[in-house]
Amino acid sequence: MPSNIYIVDDDESVCRALKTLLMTYGFEVRTFNSAQNFFDAVPNDEPGCLLLDIHMPGLDGWETQKLILASGSKRSVIFISAEKQDSALDRALKLGAIGFLQKPVNGQTLVDLINVTSKIKDRD
């Protein structure tokens, strides 16, 4: 059974490209242009890994992750942003995310990280 992936990024081109790439790995992918759209469409308990951009109008990535944590959801989150690696990775991990990848992100690296999250989930 293919795992679900959600992508939240205000850049449509990024959404479409990442979706195309991840689909070649057999993932089921849905994209959203804002965190609000994602919250409206996907219930907290619906399984699936979230790829989350940081700089977005409205709710930014950090605030979105805080809301997810506050809702009690156990969703695995991977931040994907053009933000600099050193400070952002630290902050992402502190916020309970699985990881942080700097754009432009290499497909295989991303998929490896997603697979790690599903292994963690399996162990749970």
Partner 1 sequence: MKKKINIKIRKAKEPLSKKRTPLNLKDRVLQQSNELKEGADREKQGADREKQGADREKQAEEQILIRNKAMEATTDAIFIIDAKTPNFIITYANLSFQNITGYTKKEILGQNYFLLYGPSADLRIIDEIKKTICRGESFYGEMLKFRKNGEKYWCLLRIAPVRDSKGVITHYVGIKSDTTLMKQRNLKIEEQREELLHVTRVGKLAEFVSSLAHEISQPLTAILSYAQAAQRMLKDREPQLQEILQYIINDDQRAAEVIKRMRYLLKKTKPALEPLDFNVIIQDTVSLILPQVTAKGKIVKFELDENLPLIQGDRIQLQQVVLNLISNSLEAMEENKDSHELIIRTSCKDADTILVQVKDSGSGILPENMKKLFTHFFTSKPDGLGMGLSISRSIVEAHGGYLNAENNPDRGAIFYFTIPLNKKDDL
Q: Which residues contact 112 (CB under 8 A, 6 or more apart)?
A: none
Q: Which residues contact 40 (CB under 8 A, 6 or more apart)?
A: none
Based on the shown chain and the rule CB under 8 A, indicate whether residue 89 belongs to the binding site for partner 1: no
Cβ proximity to partner 1: between 12 and 46 the closer is 12
- Lateral strand order in the sheet of 28-32: 28-32, 4-8, 49-52, 77-81, 99-102
Cβ proximity to partner 1: between 19 and 121 the closer is 19
Minimum gap (Å) between residue 45 Cβ and partner 1: 25
Cβ proximity to partner 1: between 42 and 95 the closer is 95
Stretch that binds partner 1, among 8-16, 28-36, 38-46, 113-121 (CB under 8 A): 8-16
Q: What does the block give as tokens for 101?
A: 């990848």
Q: Contact residues for partner 1 (CB under 8 A)? A: 11, 13-14, 16-18, 20-21, 23-25, 55, 80, 82-84, 91, 94-95, 102-108
